[in-house]
Amino acid sequence: MKQTRNNGYRAPDAPLLHAGPISYSRDGQAILCGITFSVAAGELVGLIGPNGAGKSTLLKVIGGLWSGAQGPITLAGRPLARYSARAIAQQVAHVPQITALDFPFTVQQIALMGRNPHLGRFQIETARDRQIVTEALRRTGTLALADRLIGTLSGGERQRVLIARALAQEPRLLLLDEPTANLDLQHQIGVLELVRDLVRQGQLGAVAAVHDLELAARFCDRLVLLHEGRVLTDGTPERVLSPGPLRTAYGVNTRSYPDPVTGYLRLAVLDGAPVPDASEVAHAAP
């Protein structure tokens, strides 16, 4: 069922989550200004944009962690505001930026916390819950670490454990905040490959804030470029990573070209001050 809704937004299917236009301010400062955003099942959406563009905020607002946004947000067709924290957590999983996780919990205990939204107050984990966790650890390559304390792991291992915890939630929507920040190259690739495969295999949608534009282009089905709390461009990586939008958002001149070895999109940053041309200025207007 392809139908036009919401000002011409053409969803591949009924969107899992639709927001917008939403605005959000914190301590009197506007962070998101009239953003329209949606994600469907089977889709990996990359959020890109310079620091302070609102990527993390958008993830927290659409994931229900920060309430008080102006404008409609619906999750699986129901207003987000009507969900309890528990009900949201049954559908949406967050993978936070790597934070201090130096508690004497084992990897398995951390991953089991992902089952929390599915457990009642009087319940403890069943064999099925443990099986789901084991499977999540296996898929993220962290099963061998199950009995290690989380504080003894490397950054890449921790990141994968947090993804395992998110998978243990059995979510329909996965939100990842800079999942590759501070990771070594092989882990950056490994983590994004994992997320892409999960989205392809399972019927879940994913939104990842990604700093590295080439990585975003390589793994995401669609990119959303944020700039000063607004959506500058929303579309295929080739379209979003074109010189105009990047010049507006980052203030640099770029050219994209296919990598001679892999064929993936690469960006060359050119010397010299950016010279906007007329068509691109029109493009960049909010």
Q: Which residues of this chain interact with another protein, rule CB under 8 A?
A: 60, 63, 65, 84-90, 92-94, 96, 99, 101-106, 109-110, 113-114, 116-117, 119, 121-122, 124-125, 130, 139-142, 144-145, 147-149, 151-152, 154, 156-157, 160, 169, 186-187, 190, 193-194, 197
**Which of 166, 162, 180, 186 has the alpha carbon at shortest distance from 100?**
162
Give the HSE-up count for residue 280: Cα atoms under 13 Å, Cβ half-sphere: 18
Least CB distance to another protein at residue 267 (A) = 26
Let me know: does 71 contact 25? Beta carbons within 8 Å. no
Measured from the CB atom, the residue of 103 and 264 that comes closer to another protein is 103
Shortest distance (Å) from residue 271 CB to another protein: 37
Residue 222 CB, nearest approach to another protein (Å): 23
Cβ neighbors of 20 (< 8 A, separation 6 or more) are 6, 34, 35, 36, 37, 38, 71, 72, 73
What amino acid occupies position 224? V
Select 164 or 223, whichever has its Cβ closest to another protein.
164
Least distance between another protein and beta carbon 124 (Å): 5
CB nearer to another protein: pick between 200 and 239 = 200
Strand bridging mode 265-269 / 173-177? unpaired
Residue 138, strand partner residues = none
- Closest CB to another protein among residues 33, 101: 101
Cβ 234 to another protein shortest distance, Å: 25
In the complex with another protein, which residue's Cβ is closer, 178 or 234? Answer: 178
Q: Is the dihedral of CA 11, 16, 22, 24 positive or negative?
A: negative
